[in-house]
Amino acid sequence: MCEYIVKSRSENTSKKYMSSFNRWSKFITNKGKSAIPANSMHVALYLTYLLNIGCSFHVISSALYAIKWAHSILGYEDPTEHPFIKNIVEASKRNNKARVIKKEVVTTKDLVLLCDIYADSSSLLEVRDMCMILLSFAGFLRYEELSSLRCSDVKFLDGYVKIFINKSKTDQYRQGNEILISTGVTSACPVKMLQRYISLGNIDIFSDHFLFKSVFKSKEGLKLIYKNKKLSYTRARECMLSKLKSVMGNVNIGLHSLRSGGATAAANSNVNERCWKKHGRWASDSSKDGYVKDSLESRLSVSKNLGL
Same domain, 81 and 150: no
Distances (CA, A) of 70 to 89, 177, 229: 18, 31, 32
Is residue 307 included in any domain, yes or no? no
Q: What 3-state DSSP class applies to 154?
A: strand
**CA–CA separation, 197 and 246 (whole Å):** 21
Same domain, 133 and 204: yes
Which of 50-59, 96-105, 123-132, 177-186: highest mean pLDDT?
Answer: 123-132
Same domain, 124 and 197: yes
**CA–CA separation, 97 and 70 (whole Å):** 27
- At residue 169, the pLDDT reads 66
Provide the domain limits for residue 23: 2-94
Q: What 3-state DSSP class applies to 198?
A: helix
**CA–CA separation, 72 and 82 (whole Å):** 15
On the question of pLDDT at 221 being above 80, the answer is yes
Same domain, 182 and 229: yes
Is residue 142 included in any domain, yes or no? yes
Task: Quickly count: other Cβ atoms within 10 Å of residue 226's Cβ.
Answer: 9
Same domain, 199 and 136: yes
**CA–CA separation, 96 and 53 (whole Å):** 10
CATH of the domain at 115: 1.10.443.10
Percent of the chain clearing pLDDT 70 (strictly above): 93
Q: Which residue has the higher pLDDT, 167 or 23?
A: 23
Same domain, 163 and 209: yes
Same domain, 139 and 215: yes
- At residue 176, the pLDDT reads 58
Q: What is the DSSP letter of 283?
A: S
CATH of the domain at 39: 1.10.150.130
**CA–CA separation, 181 and 183 (whole Å):** 7
Distances (CA, A) of 167 to 110, 142, 147, 230, 231: 29, 11, 11, 15, 17
